[in-house]
C-alpha cells in the first residue's frame, strides 16, 4: 500500500506527540483523520490538513492504518476493546494499528493475538524524539510485531520516523522503549549530579558540559536536553514528569516479573518517585535542575 492510493490513516490522540505525527502524515500526502477529546487539539490539527472526526468509531470504520498516541496501556486496550465490533465487521479489509504509545509488553501481545484472530494487525511501535521529531517526521521508532504487518505499514512508518527498527515480535518494541527511557531517566540524574559536583567545586557548569559532550560521559540527555531545556531554564521539552515516572515504574515492574536484579534501576525509580517538589504535570527536564536541587 502506498500514499499514492490515498491510504487513510487515523490518528487517535492529538497530544504533544500525536498532533505532530498527524500533521506530518497529512503534509506527506496521506489522507489523515484525527481524533482527540480536546476540540482545541482537533482544530489545531485541522489547520494542517488533518480531517477531524467526531468519534473514534469513525476513524476505525474508515482507516486502513490507525496510529495511537495515548497515555497508558489501559487507554490503548480500552480503545481497541470498545471498537472491536467495528474491526470484526471489517473482516477481509485488513486494518493495522500502529501503537506509538509507551505501553506494556503483555498488553500489546494480548491485543496482537486478538486482532490477528480477526485478520487485523497490531504493532507496538513506541517512539523517541519528542514533539520536534514528531512534527518533522524524524522520530526513532522501535517496533514489535509480525514482519508482514511491518512491511504493510512501512510507508506510514517511514513518513513519521527517520529511523524505524523492527526489534522482534509483539511486545519487543515496548520492552526496548522501557529500557531506553529507564536509561534516559538515569542519565538525567547522573548528568545533574556530575554538573552539581562541578559547580560546587568551582568549575563553570557550561564548561563541564562541553567536556562531557566531547568525552565518554556524554549521552543524548547531556547533548540535547541539558543545553536546550535545562541550562536555558526553559524546561519545556514536551515530556512530563508523570510520563517519565510511569515509564520508570513500568521498567521496574518488568524487571520484577522477569526476575532480574537491577539495583541501580531500583534507585533511579525511587529518586524519580520521591522527587515530591516536582508535580506530574511539570516537564521532566526539571529533574535535571542541578542549581536548585538539594
CB burial class (10 A; 0-12, 13-18, 19+) of residue 144?
Answer: buried
Active site residue 177: yes
At residue 239's C-alpha, the angle toward residues 235 and 240, to 5°, is 85
Angle (CA) 88-22-168 rounded to 5° is 60
Show the cell assigned to 66: 490507525
Point out the catalytic residue in the list 3, 88, 163, 177: 177
Contacts of 262 (CB under 8 A, 6+ apart): 252, 255
Question: What letter would DSSP give residue 201?
Answer: T
Three-state DSSP at 281 gives: coil
Enumerate the active-site residues: 177
Amino acid at each position: 500500500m502506498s500514499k499514492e492510493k490515498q491510504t487513510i490513516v487515523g490518528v487517535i490522540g492529538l497530544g504533544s506527540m500525536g498532533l505532530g505525527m498527524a500533521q506530518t502524515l497529512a503534509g506527506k500526502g496521506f489522507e489523515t483523520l484525527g481524533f482527540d477529546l480536546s476540540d482545541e487539539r482537533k482544530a489545531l490539527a485541522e489547520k494542517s490538513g488533518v480531517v477531524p472526526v467526531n468519534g473514534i468509531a469513525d476513524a476505525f470504520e474508515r482507516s486502513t492504518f490507525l496510529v495511537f498516541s495515548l497515555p497508558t496501556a489501559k487507554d490503548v486496550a480500552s480503545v481497541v476493546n470498545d471498537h472491536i465490533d467495528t474491526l470484526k465487521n471489517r473482516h477481509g479489509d485488513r486494518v493495522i494499528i500502529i501503537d506509538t504509545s509507551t505501553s506494556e509488553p503483555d498488553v500489546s501481545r494480548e491485543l496482537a493475538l486478538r486482532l490477528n484472530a480477526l485478520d487485523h494487525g497490531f504493532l507496538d511501535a513506541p517512539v523517541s524524539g519528542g514533539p520536534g521529531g514528531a512534527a518533522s517526521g524524524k522520530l526513532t521508532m522501535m517496533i514489535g510485531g509480525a514482519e508482514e504487518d511491518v512491511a504493510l505499514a512501512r510507508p506510514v512508518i517511514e513518513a513519521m520516523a527517520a529511523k524505524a527498527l523492527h526489534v522482534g515480535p509483539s511486545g519487543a518494541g515496548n520492552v526496548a522503549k522501557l529500557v531506553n527511557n529507564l536509561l534516559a531517566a538515569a542519565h538525567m540524574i547522573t548528568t545533574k549530579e556530575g554538573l552539581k559536583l562541578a559547580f560546587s567545586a568551582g568549575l563553570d557548569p557550561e564548561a563541564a558540559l562541553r567536556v562531557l559532550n566531547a568525552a565518554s560521559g556524554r549521552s543524548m540527555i547531556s547533548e540535547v536536553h541539558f543545553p536546550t531545556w535545562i541550562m536555558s531554564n526553559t524546561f519545556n521539552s514536551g515530556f512530563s514528569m508523570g510520563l517519565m515516572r510511569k515509564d520508570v515504574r513500568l521498567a521496574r515492574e518488568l524487571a520484577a516479573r522477569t526476575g532480574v536484579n537491577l539495583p541501580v534501576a531500583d534507585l533511579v525509580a525511587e529518586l524519580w518517585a520521591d522527587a515530591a517538589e516536582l508535580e506530574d504535570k511539570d516537564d521532566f527536564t526539571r529533574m535535571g535542575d542541578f542549581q536548585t536541587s538539594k
